[in-house]
Amino acid sequence: METRMKMLYRTAAMLAATGFLTVPAFAEDLAFTLNNFSALGLVEFYTSPADTDDWEEDILGEDILPPGTSGDVTIADGRTQCTYDLLFVMSDGQELEDTVNMCELGSYTLN
C-alpha cells in the first residue's frame, strides 16, 4: 500500500510540474467609485490594461460626470491583471492620465 501511495504522490507531483494540475485564474470585475471633485465636468473616461497600447471604449459613453459628483464604475473586461492606465478628458479638453492598481482601488478622486 505504501508503494502505491508513493506512486500516486509522484504522479501528482509530475502532473503539477507539467501544468496539468494548475488552478485557473478567474477574471474578476474591478469596481470602484469615481469622484469628480475638480472644477470641470468629466466628459470621457478610458481605461486600458497597462501592458496594452490601445485605449478601450469610453466608459461614460454619452454621460458626463459633473463637478462635485461621484459615480460607480465597473470594469468587466474579463482580464485577470490589476494595473490599468486611466485617461480622463475634461470639459475644457484637458487630458489627464494615471496608472493605478485597480485591485486595491476602492475609489479614485479627480481634484
**Helix or strand holding residue 11 (H, E):** helix 2-18
Mean pLDDT to the nearest integer, 65-84: 93
**CA–CA distance, 43 with 38 (Å, rounded to integer):** 12
pLDDT tens, residue by residue, 17-27: 444 343 344 45
What are the strands of the beta sheet with 107-110, ordered from one edge? 69-75, 30-36, 107-110
pLDDT tens, residue by residue, 82-109: 999 999 999 999 999 999 999 988 999 9
Ordered structural domains, the chain, with CATH: 24-110 (2.60.40)
Mean pLDDT to the nearest integer, 20-39: 73
CA distances to 47, 70, 77 from 54, rounded to whole Å, are 9, 26, 14
pTM here is 0.74
Q: Which residue has the higher pLDDT, 105 or 68?
A: 68
CA distances to 9, 16, 22, 26, 82 from 19, rounded to whole Å, are 15, 5, 5, 16, 23
When the pLDDT of each residue in the chain is averaged and rounded to a whole number, the result is 82
Confidence at residue 14, expressed as pLDDT on a 0 to 100 scale = 45
